[in-house]
Structures are given as structure tokens and as C-alpha cells.
RNA sequence: GCCCCGGUAGCUCAGUUGGAUAGAGCAGCGGACUUCUAAUCCGCAGGUCGCAGAUUCGAGUUCUGCCCGGGGCGCCA
């Protein structure tokens, strides 16, 4: 699974460099078979103990039958790291506490202070398909699309930053009975599609639904219309194109407001797979993976616990996992069929090596089954490789519900889904009011820019900053309060740094050597140096909230530095320049990270 | 009935293959502004980590059972 090895020591990462040295010591003390044991280097949990700690001696001591504390001593004796740190201390049951030397920090910071900020991208050509947004025809985007859009976009940005080539896939709901109902309705009523707006279309959609529910004849007509559409009759196709266009034009307004990188080129709706559904079913039947059952075609899954265990207490037959239906008894296909066709296309034709689905957590079981079925068919095997066994990674990035303060999924007072555009516009409006109050001197244009960046940024940050799989509480006051863990807090820290930069005199040396001495400087340096490894981890696990957490740490650490360490009024020009460079590096990391979250930075706010 | 996710401070949440005294933010209380943007910072207070067992030098973290909340469970997407 873990095809991406990030243990290669990056010269600018103290954890990696120290880890490497400790591994050498481990090999020396315990033998070469321990050369790749995890050195378990972590930032010190308590500053009083030093900067870093290694917990390796305790676990390995048990494993190798050695006394942990004594083993720790032997590791320390064998450790060759005098250029990096003070002589380590041993504490408790066998913690190795490490204090890094300022010169080492200065060198690592200089190493990091380049355009790529220490992040080493992969070679080109690693395609990743990201299934996101998932707009439905004839419906405006609502809160349900918020998370898929925001998370998917951030995932794309992060992967691109790490050298992957993300391919957003807007999996439109554009092919099914509901389209047949809608098209039949607008054609029956002779509605002029050229002057229709999305709200009109939504009304028509609801009306067509209602009719089909009440009137069997209407339903039959809709089904017949769907057949005509699927036969690609010109009139039906024309109507379908038009309703699709109306829907998407409106949806892209919301996408633009959210600054999504996704474009029209990334439309891969259900209709895209329409010719690929039958082959999916045929192939699975042919290989005996799928079978007929009660008129439908299904894929069964072997039970995970093959038989009752040794205890024999539980002699009931294991409940079989429910099967995956890929063709209905009326010969119609389902979204599982489309998803399987999608995997086949994305892996087999595009050659994507990771397929990421940013979809509601309630579909966990669905994706688990679809992924398993795809694996059974071998559709996750990457084509055209020497090592033909290399498999694409199939990942469901499941996200929880957006809830109101009452803890229940967010709805309007009328009990309807909140429209995404309304929500975004309210965010901007609320931010506008706050800018007006906090900084009335800005020009109107600047205020509008700040309101947009802050309003949208806060919504995004609130969405990305807790564990994605959990529900989260959507609370305007908390997310827009510019105190605490919010997007605006981060944006403001950036503004404060840039303000110093603007006021710096002309004679500063931008390449002045770093000079880490004070505790707050050291904290900031250590936090900055965590960035590349942190980001690589997020690229692997897609835990975007950890990027948020890191940026908040960085911003707070910077703030403490800012209050304690004068920059422009530093005691000497050399120190001033060194601190200014530290500020600039912090700004660069903050801007980079915010950009990866899809949050705009500002020069003033 | 079965499966999945969650339960940590008054509220919203972190907690990295098991590590030292469980951390933030908000709210509360007390301080710091003729500023390098106070949209900030510093300090105080606040906890039976849902409950009970098990594993071990050590458990919020692993295992088992239970309680509570949410979600899912063959022809909707």
C-alpha cells in the first residue's frame, strides 16, 4: 500500500536527520538487522526535556531482551550527532532527550529557504483521479456539495504541490430516470429552454417528479422519454444538453466564488459511462464474479470471518455481507455499475494510480463493496507497467454532515437544503460587515476583496480543520470570530508579517544568515522545519485537518515571536536581517499552506 | 438483527506504529495598546478521557463485553 517512501532523510528536517543518525547507532548497538528499525523521533512533549525525544530504546529493549535504560545509554554512546545536537540525556524508563544546536537550525533553515520550501516533489506523471462536487442536473448546489467541493479542491492542490497530477472528476448526476421525467415535462409543456434559469428548472423538476408520482401515465411517458434519450434521438439530446448547460452555468458561479480549480474540462458525469455499463456487467458475469439472483445481477462477497472461531460459543452462521446489485431485474443499471465503469476507465484508460472519492460518509459501505468488486475483477491493476501487479489505490475520503447548532444536519427553516450560493454569499456579507467595523479606512474595493477572501476562507477553514469523517457544527459566529482557530486568524498573521516587510529599510540583506538564539526564535524555527514532512504525510493520508492544525501552530508560534522579538528594532542590523528573513520564510510557508487549503492571502485586512 | 462512525474541559475540537504531568480555541476571570496591524499577546481557572474488565514497566490510544448518539443494510443516487 505505502508505495511512497518518505523516510528518506530530507536534509532540512531535524526529525529525519536525527532519526537517520539514531538508526546508525541502533545498527551498531543491536546489529545490522536493526538498521531500519523506527527511531521514533518526536518533537519533545515537554520543552523542559529538550527539543526532540526518541522513544526507540523502550520498545526495542523489550524486543531484544535488553534493559531499556541501559540500551538507551548504549545508543547515546554510539550516536554520532555532535554536529546536530548537545549530548543527549536519558530519562525515565529510557527516553532519549535531544537538544538541537542553534548552528544546525540555522543551516537547516537556510536549506529550507528556497522556492519549494523544502518540499520535494515526485517525478511527473503520477495521475490521481479525484471524484468530487457531484452536481445533479436541474438542482442548484446545496450544503451537501460544500464539503465535497472544498475538500476535493484542497486535496487536488496538495497533491499537485507534491508533484502528483490531479484530475478532478465532476461526477454529474446527468443520466437517469429523473432526467427522463424532467425532459418529458419540459417537452410536454413546450417550455422554452433557451430562456430558462436554474430556479425555473428546479420548479420544473419538482413538478415533473410530482406528476410521475401521482400519475402512472406520466411515469410511463418519462420512461419512454428516457429510452429515446438513451437512443440519442436529436430532440431529446438537444433538451438534455440545454438543461445540463443551465445547471452547470449556475453551478460554476458557486465554484468560481469558492475558487475551485475544477473547470468544465473535468465534467465526467454518469452519461459519460453510458456505453461502458453493459461491458462491466458482461465482464463480471463472464468471470463468474457476478451472478443472477431474483432477476437481478449481483456480486456476492465472501464472509470476512469464514467460520465460527475456536471458542465455538457462537455457532450461528455468519451473516453474509449484503451483495452489490449491478443490474436491476428490469435490466436497468445502478450507480454501483457506473462507479465500477468509472474505476475501469480511470485506472485502465487514464492510468490513474490513486482514485480518490470525496463523498459523504454514509456511502462507506457502498464504496467498500465497489472497491472490493473492482479488486476481484482486477480492475485496480495498473496497465502497461513492468510490474503488472502494481495496483491503484482506491480511497474513499468520507466526510460527515454539516450540522446546525442543534447538532442536526443543516436545513433552512422550511426544512429544505440550504443553497450553497446563499451560504457563501452570507459568509461574504457577514465578513463585509466586520471589515467595515474593523478597518473602515480601506477603499470600498479593498473591503470587498477582504470580505470575499475572509468570508469564503472562514467557511473553508471551518470545513477542513476537523477530522473529515466526523460531522461538524456550522456556526457563523465561531467561524467568523477573528479570534482563535479560524481562517481569518491565519490570514491576519500573514498580513502582520507582510506589514513588517513593507516597512523594512532598503539596505536589508535578504540572504543574511539565520541567527536562532532566543527561545521564541527557536520555537518558530522548529515549527517551520516541520512543514515538508507534515505536508508529505498529508499527501499520503489526506488528513487535511493536519495541515490546518500545523498552520495554526505556526501562526501562534509566530505571534509569540512577534511580541517578544523586535524585528525592525532589533539590537543590530545583522539580527534585524536575520529576523526579517525568518519572518519572510514564515510568510512563505503560511501563504503556501493557505493556498493549499484554497484560502486567499491578503496584504491588508 | 447485522455492519460502520463517534463519545476527551461548560461549548467546539486536537491528541502521530502504546510513552513522561491528557492539549488547543471559544466562553469565564486577571493583565498588556502614544503598536513592527490589539482582527494580537501573556497569565489563571477548568478533566471519573462513556462504563467495566483484559494485555504490560506504561493505555485517551490495543483487545473483549456493555451503555449512549448518529449513519448504513439487494434491485434510489
Taking only the tens place, the pLDDT of each residue in A452-508 is 999 999 999 999 999 999 999 999 989 988 788 999 999 999 999 999 999 999 999
Nucleotides of B under 7 A from a protein CB: 1-6, 12-17, 19-21, 24-27, 36-42, 57-58, 70-77
Q: Is the minimum distance from the CB of A591 to strand B below 7 Å? A: no
Q: Is the CB of A337 under 7 A from strand B?
A: no
Tell me the pLDDT tens digit for each residue of A277-286: 999 999 999 9
Helical axes A573-597 vs A544-564, angle rounded to 10°: 160
Least confident of A1-5, A96-100, A449-453, A512-516: A1-5
As a whole number of angstroms, the distance between CA A54 and CA A41 comes to 4
- Residue with CA nearest B25 C1'? A484
| Strand B contacts in A 344-383 (CB under 7 A) | 361-366
Q: What is the pLDDT of residues A224-246, one digit of tens each?
A: 999 899 899 999 999 999 999 99
pLDDT at residue A387 tops 50: yes
A137 in Cβ contact with A244 (< 8 Å): yes
CA atom of A53 to C1′ atom of B55, Å:
26
Residue burial A354-387, b: 16+ Cβ < 10 Å; e: rest:
bbbbbbbbeeeebbebbbbbbebbebbbbeeeee
Residue with cell 472562514: A458
Of the listed ranges A28-42, A359-373, A445-459, the one predicted with least confidence: A28-42
Question: From the alpha carbon of A431, which nucleotide's C1' atom is closest?
Answer: B39
Give residue A321's pLDDT: 80
pLDDT number for residue A22: 95
Proximity of residue A303 CB to strand B below 7 A: no
CA distances from A534 to A97, A127, A593 (A): 22, 22, 11
Query: For strand B, is any atom closer than 7 Å to the CB of A568?
Result: yes
Q: Quote the pLDDT of residue A320.
A: 65
User: What letter would DSSP give residue A362?
Assistant: G
Give the pLDDT band of residue A10 (cuts 50, 70, 90). Answer: low
Of A114, A125, A37, A108, the C-alpha closest to A75 is A37
Task: Identify nearest nucleotide to residue A569 by CA to C1′ distance.
Answer: B36
Is the CB of A541 within 7 Å of strand B?
no
How high is the pLDDT of residue A9? 44
With contact defined as beta carbons under 8 Å apart, do A457 and A599 qualify?
yes
CA atom of A75 to C1′ atom of B57, Å: 20
Mean pLDDT (whole number) for A102-118: 95
Among the listed residues A135, A171, A168, A170, the one whose alpha carbon sits nearest the alpha carbon of residue A153: A168
**H helices, E strands: number in chain A:** 20, 13
In the structure, how far is the CA atom of residue A323 from the C1' atom of nucleotide B3, in angstroms? 13
Task: Give me the percent of chain A exceeding a pLDDT of 70.
Answer: 95
Distance from C-alpha of A593 to C-alpha of A600, rounded to nearest angstrom: 10
- pLDDT surpasses 70 at A425: yes
Q: Is residue A208 pLDDT above 90, yes or no? A: yes
Question: Residues near A144 by Cβ (< 8 Å), separated by ≥ 6?
Answer: A360, A417
Q: Is A160 (CB) below 7 Å from strand B?
A: no
- Verify if strand B has an atom below 7 Å from the CB of A307: no
DSSP state of A33: G
pLDDT digits (tens, 9 = 90+) for A53-70: 999 999 898 888 888 999
| Residue A276 DSSP symbol | G
Judge whether residue A271 contacts strand B, using its CB and a 7 Å cut-off.
no
A128 to A167, A379, A529: CA distances (angstroms): 6, 16, 28
Q: For strand B, which residues in window 438-477 of chain A come within 7 Å by CB?
A: 438-439, 450, 454, 465-467, 469-473
Note the pLDDT tens digit of each residue in A290-340. Answer: 999 999 999 999 765 444 333 333 333 445 688 999 999 999 999 999 999
Q: For A216-233, what is the HEC assignment?
A: HHHHHHHHHHHHHHHCCC
A348-CA/B19-C1' distance, Å? 46
Cα A167 from chain centre: 14
CB distance A160 to A259 below 8 Å: no
Separation of A41 CA and B65 C1' (Å): 36
pLDDT at A213 over 80: yes
Using C1' positions and the CA of A304, the closest nucleotide is B3
CB atoms closer than 10 angstroms to residue A220? 12
User: How close are the terminal C-alpha atoms of chain A, in Å?
Assistant: 44
A468 in Cβ contact with A401 (< 8 Å): no
- The Cα–Cα gap between A285 and A326 comes to 11
**What pLDDT score does A72 carry?**
95
pLDDT, tens digit, 9 for 90 and up, residues A180-198? 999 999 999 999 999 999 9
The enclosing H or E element of A52 equals: strand A52-54
Average pLDDT of chain A, as a whole number: 91
**A335-343 vs A277-286: helix axis angle to the nearest 10?**
80
Section A429-451 average pLDDT: 93
Q: Is the CB of A165 under 7 A from strand B?
A: no
pLDDT at A26 over 60: yes
Residue A123, SS3 per DSSP: coil
Pairing of strands A354-360, A324-327: unpaired
| Contact of A455 with A431, CB cutoff 8 Å | yes
Distance A461 CA to B12 C1' (A): 14
User: A250-266 pLDDT, tens per residue?
Assistant: 999 999 999 999 999 99
Residue nearest to nucleotide B70 (CA to C1'): A471
Which of the nucleotides lies closest to A89 (Cα–C1')? Answer: B20
Q: Phi-psi category of A134—alpha, beta or left, where left has phi over 0 and alpha has psi -120 to 50?
A: left
Res A35: pLDDT = 86
Scanning every strand, the nucleotide with its C1' closest to A38's CA turns out to be B17
Specify the pLDDT at position A566. Answer: 94
Q: What is the DSSP letter of A270?
A: G
A180 touches strand B (CB under 7 A): no
Residue A484: count other Cβ atoms within 10 Å of its Cβ. 10
CA-to-CA separations, A319 to A105, A302, A314, A367, A479, in angstroms, rounded: 58, 10, 12, 20, 45
Sequence-ordered strand ranges (E) for A233-295: 290-293
With a 7 Å cutoff on the CB, does A501 touch strand B? Answer: no
pTM: predicted TM-score of the whole model, two decimal places: 0.94
Task: Check whether residue A47 has its CB closer than 7 Å to nucleic acid strand B.
Answer: no
Q: Which residues 77-96 on A are within 7 A of strand B at the CB atom?
A: 91-93, 95
Q: From the Cβ of A231, is strand B under 7 Å away?
A: no
Q: Is A196 helix (H, G, I), strand (E, B) or coil?
A: coil
A44 touches strand B (CB under 7 A): yes
Q: Give the CA angle between residues A590, A596, A597 to the nearest 5°.
A: 90
| A97 CB and strand B closer than 7 A | yes
Q: Is the CB of A563 under 7 A from strand B?
A: yes
Rounded CA separation A188/A236 (Å): 12
Q: Count of alpha carbons within 13 Å of A221, Cβ hemisphere only? A: 17
DSSP label at A347? I
- Backbone φ and ψ of A517, nearest 5°: -130, -55
| Percent of chain A at pLDDT exceeding 90 | 81
Amino acid at each position: 500500500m505505502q508505495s511512497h517512501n518518505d523516510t528518506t532523510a530530507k536534509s532540512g528536517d531535524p526529525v529525519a536527520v536525527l532519526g537517520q543518525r539514531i538508526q546508525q547507532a541502533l545498527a551498531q548497538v543491536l546489529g545490522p538487522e536493526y538498521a531500519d528499525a523506527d527511531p521514533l523521533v518526536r518533537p519533545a512533549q515537554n520543552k523542559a526535556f529538550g527539543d526532540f525525544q526518541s522513544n526507540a530504546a523502550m520498545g526495542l529493549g523489550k524486543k531484544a531482551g535488553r534493559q531499556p535504560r541501559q540500551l538507551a545509554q548504549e545508543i547515546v554512546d554510539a550516536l554520532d550527532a555532535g554536529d546536530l545536537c548537545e549530548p543527549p540525556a536519558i530519562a525515565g524508563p529510557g527516553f532519549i532527550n535531544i537538544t538541537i544546536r542553534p548552528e544546525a537550525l540555522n543551516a537547516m533553515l537556510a536549506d529550507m529557504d528556497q522556492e519549494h520550501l523544502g518540499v520535494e516533489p515526485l517525478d511527473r506523471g503520477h495521475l490521481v483521479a479525484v471524484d468530487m462536487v457531484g452536481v445533479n442536473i436541474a438542482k442548484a448546489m446545496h450544503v451537501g456539495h460544500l464539503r465535497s467541493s472544498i475538500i476535493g479542491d484542497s486535496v487536488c492542490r496538495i497533491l499537485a504541490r507534491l508533484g502528483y497530477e490531479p484530475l478532478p472528476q465532476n461526477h454529474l448526476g446527468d443520466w437517469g430516470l429523473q432526467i427522463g421525467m424532467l425532459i418529458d415535462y419540459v417537452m410536454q409543456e413546450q417550455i422554452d429552454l433557451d430562456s430558462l434559469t436554474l430556479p425555473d428548472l428546479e420548479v420544473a423538476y419538482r413538478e415533473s417528479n410530482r406528476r410521475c408520482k401521482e400519475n402512472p401515465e406520466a411515469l410511463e411517458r418519462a420512461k419512454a422519454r428516457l429510452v429515446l434519450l438513451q437512443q440519442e434521438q436529436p430532440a431529446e439530446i438537444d433538451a438534455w444538453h440545454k438543461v445540463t448547460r443551465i445547471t452547470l452555468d449556475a453551478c460554476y458561479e458557486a465554484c468560481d466564488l469558492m475558487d475551485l480549480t475544477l473547470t468544465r474540462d473535468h465534467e465526467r458525469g454518469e452519461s459519460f459511462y453510458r456505453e461502458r455499463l453493459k461491458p462491466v456487467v458482461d465482464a463480471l458475469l463472464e468471470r463468474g464474479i457476478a451472478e443472477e439472483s431474483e432477476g437481478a445481477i449481483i456480486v456476492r462477497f465472501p464472509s470476512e470471518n469464514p467460520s465460527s472461531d475456536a471458542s465455538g460459543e457462537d455457532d450461528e452462521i455468519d451473516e453474509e455481507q449484503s451483495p452489490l446489485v449491478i443490474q436491476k431485474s428490469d435490466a436497468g443499471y445502478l450507480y454501483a455499475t457506473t462507479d465500477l465503469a468509472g474505476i475501469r476507465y480511470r485506472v485502465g484508460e487514464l492510468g490513474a494510480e490513486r482514485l480518490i472519492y470525496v463523498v459523504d460518509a454514509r456511502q462507506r459501505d457502498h464504496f467498500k463493496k465497489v472497491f472490493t468488486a473492482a479488486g476481484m475483477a482486477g480492475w485496480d491493476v495498473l496497465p502497461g507497467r513492468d510490474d503488472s501487479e502494481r495496483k491503484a489505490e482506491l480511497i474513499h475520503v468520507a466526510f460527515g454532515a454539516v450540522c446546525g447548532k442543534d447538532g442536526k444536519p443543516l436545513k433552512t427553516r422550511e426544512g429544505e437544503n440550504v443553497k450553497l450560493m446563499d451560504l457563501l454569499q452570507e459568509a461574504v456579507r457577514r465578513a463585509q460587515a466586520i471589515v467595515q467595523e474593523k478597518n473602515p479606512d480601506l477603499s470600498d474595493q479593498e473591503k470587498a476583496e477582504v470580505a470575499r477572501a475572509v468570508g469564503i476562507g472562514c467557511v473553508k477553514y471551518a470545513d477542513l480543520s476537523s477530522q473529515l469523517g466526523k460531522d461538524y457544527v456550522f456556526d457563523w459566529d465561531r467561524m467568523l470570530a477573528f479570534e482563535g482557530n479560524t481562517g481569518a486568524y491565519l490570514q491576519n498573521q500573514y498580513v502582520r508579517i507582510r506589514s513588517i516587510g513593507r516597512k523594512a529599510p532598503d539596505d536589508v540583506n535578504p540572504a543574511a544568515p539565520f541567527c536562532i538564539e532566543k527561545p521564541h526564535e527557536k520555537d518558530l524555527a522548529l515549527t517551520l522545519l516541520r512543514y515538508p514532512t507534515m505536508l508529505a504525510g498529508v499527501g499520503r493520508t489526506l488528513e487535511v485537518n493536519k495541515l490546518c492544525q500545523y498552520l495554526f501552530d505556526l501562526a501562534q508560534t509566530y505571534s509569540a515571536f512577534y511580541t517578544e522579538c523586535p524585528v525592525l528594532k532589533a539590537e543590530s542590523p545583522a539580527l534585524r536581517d536575520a529576523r526579517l528573513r525568518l519572518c519572510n520564510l514564515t510568510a512563505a510557508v503560511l501563504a503556501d499552506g493557505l493556498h493549499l487549503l484554497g484560502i486567499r492571502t491578503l496584504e491588508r485586512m
